[in-house]
Amino acid sequence: MRELKDKRNYTATWLPNVKLSLGDVGVLDDYEFVYRTNLKNLGIPYKEGAAGNPATYSHMSSGSVTRNVKVAGKAPLAGSALADVDAGISFNFSSKDSIVFLATNCVVRAIADQEPLERAILARYKAHEWERDYVVVSELVAADRTTVIIAEGSQGRYELKAKAGLAPTLESLNVDGNFALVHDSQIGFNVLAKAGMTPLFRCLGIKGIFRTGVATREDVVRSGQQDADDATVAVSEVEYDDYRPVPNP
């Protein structure tokens, strides 16, 4: 998730059972968006901007992921689960947490004219009607199909067999039924050509102007209150690391 933020400037959420909507309000807890409510329920108005043209987002960890494309009739690499007659794709991972990410036919949706929304959230916060660790989904990437592979070891391998007659490419991974998994080792998480995911988003939350980050979730829970008169807070884009866990003393 840190890597996708650095390379694509989006926060990631790719658990298959998490589907976000524009205007969702929740908390960023342990690198997960936890839904609480939405702007409509809170009576905060917003307008959605025009959706952009569909696009493809792809990323492989630089220097630690190797992709091998095998065509039918070519001898497989040593140790491969593919036969000579098979076509397929294999990914080898040389470091833990290396990733392969592919999201196709993505549509970006965003709240238009976000300054009024920021002012409304800040007013609610100062009136004790907005929890300090609340965030709102302000921009969302909805994908037709998503593939994510994450290594949990430094010798990870993920190997896929293509259906008969298919010329294997990275883009063809995201067509349902094109590939079948034949081998995986030291893989911590994977979804293959999953439909209807919302893998990338941006969100707004309370952030301190004169501090390097927002209060952690533990700080908020421990204090049990928020300073409505605090002039050093504003609403701006936030991410998981702004709500990082507090180390034990």
Taking only the tens place, the pLDDT of each residue in 189-241 is 999 999 999 999 999 999 874 444 444 455 544 444 455 445 678 999 999 88
Q: Is residue 104 part of a domain?
A: yes
DSSP class of 1:
-
Q: 234 has which bridge partners?
A: 207
Largest Cα span, the chain: 71
Reported as a single tens digit per residue, the pLDDT across 205-217 is: 998 744 444 444 5
DSSP class of 237:
E
Domain that holds residue 55: 2-242
Reported as a single tens digit per residue, the pLDDT across 20-46 is: 999 999 999 888 899 999 999 999 999
Q: Is residue 196 part of a domain?
A: yes
Q: Is residue 191 part of a domain?
A: yes
Task: Round the average pLDDT of the chain to a whole number and report it.
Answer: 88
Q: Is residue 83 part of a domain?
A: yes
Q: What is the CA radius of gyration of the chain?
A: 21
- Among residues 104, 78, 71, the alpha carbon closest in space to that of 157 is found at 78
Q: What is the pLDDT of residue 5?
A: 85
Question: pLDDT grade, residue 72 (50/70/90)?
Answer: very high
Q: Is residue 165 part of a domain?
A: yes
Q: Is residue 55 part of a domain?
A: yes
Q: Is residue 229 part of a domain?
A: yes
- Among residues 102, 110, 104, 105, the alpha carbon closest in space to that of 201 is found at 110
Per the structure, the count of domains in the chain is: 1
Residue 127 pLDDT > 50, yes or no?
Answer: yes
Question: pLDDT grade, residue 77 (50/70/90)?
Answer: confident
